[in-house]
Amino acid sequence: MSAFWSAWVTVITLAVIFGCTWLLFATRKSEKHKEMTEETVGHEFDGIAEYDNPLPRWWFMMFIGTVIFGLGYLALYPGLGSFQGLLGWSSHGQWEEEMQHAEEVYKPVFAKYAALSVEELQDPSNETGLRMGQRMFANNCSVCHGSAGTGAYGFPNLTDNDWLYGGEPDTIKTTITNGRNGGMPAWGQVLGEDGVRDVTSYVLSLSGQEVDDAAAARGESQFQALCAACHTAEGTGMHALGAPNLTDDIWLYGGSFEQVAHTIRNGRAGVMPAHKDLLSDDKIHLITAYVYSLSNK
């Protein structure tokens, strides 16, 4: 927060508190307001007249107590712009303390399951470990892959056996730990629009879809020249590069003619964020076991 906005917040906050306090005392100074009267403020609504009487003493004292409490709170805790309070408390600091405490309490629990392999965690006797992995998946991964891991447009389905980088436990763990950066180059300017549509026809033919045979024949040579290096000559993909298999009719960005053409024309840039700085190795191990279980039920 800049010095200007810090001063702005501080001045406005204190002005409201002291202004209300002054108003309260100012309206109690008059002698006629020290005793209860039958005088009214001179107007009524719906047959109800408002008496011109002071606040009850207990109400007044509660207001004063609230002001004192508020000023004390603002002195001890953050609330006046950039002033951190005399106690030095912060929500971030408290969160770190709670996380450290949780780490100390639950570390032995995670260590117990970390000693088991991903394959061993699939055993029904270790169901508790998989449930822990499921809850951590829900907190960290479901926003992209869905609560059941079935994926969404641009986010892989984790419940099938179609893997961009491979579905072995070590590969899954590497993906979660370090993330992935997928890159599909844009070929629109190289191929031209006719070439894009020809290659699209050929790509769709690899998964058995009905296409224009003449267009697919023209697109095959262009595919071999530009695309086979990543997707292989047969279009079966390459785990080392994260290049998808084009022969199984499973599509990350949609498998219609126009969707595939858009991918070829403009390229794609998928990013899987790294979680090594967010989660401990033991937690990543349990999430790996859960993800592995989704496609090996």
Helix (H) or strand (E) holding 40: strand 40-45
20 annotated as a binding-site residue: no
62 annotated as a binding-site residue: no
141 annotated as a binding-site residue: yes
Helix (H, G, I), strand (E, B) or coil at 43: strand
Phi, then psi, of 296 in degrees rounded to 5: -130, 35
CA proximity to 260, closest of 187, 190, 181, 183: 187
CA proximity to 178, closest of 284, 283, 274: 274
Phi, then psi, of 152 in degrees rounded to 5: -160, -175
- Burial of 67-83, coded b for 16+ CB within 10 Å and e otherwise, reads eeeeeeebeebbebbee
Distance CA 28, CA 40 (A): 16
DSSP conformation letters of 270-296: -EE---TTTS-HHHHHHHHHHHHHHT-
145 annotated as a binding-site residue: yes
Total residues belonging to the chain: 297
* Tokens standing for residue 87: 């106690």
272 annotated as a binding-site residue: yes
Distance CA 213, CA 292 (A): 40
Distance CA 228, CA 187 (A): 13
230 annotated as a binding-site residue: yes
Distance CA 239, CA 171 (A): 10
43 annotated as a binding-site residue: no
Give binding residues for heme c as ranges. Answer: 141, 144-145, 184, 227, 230-231, 272
Give binding residues as ranges. Answer: 141, 144-145, 184, 227, 230-231, 272
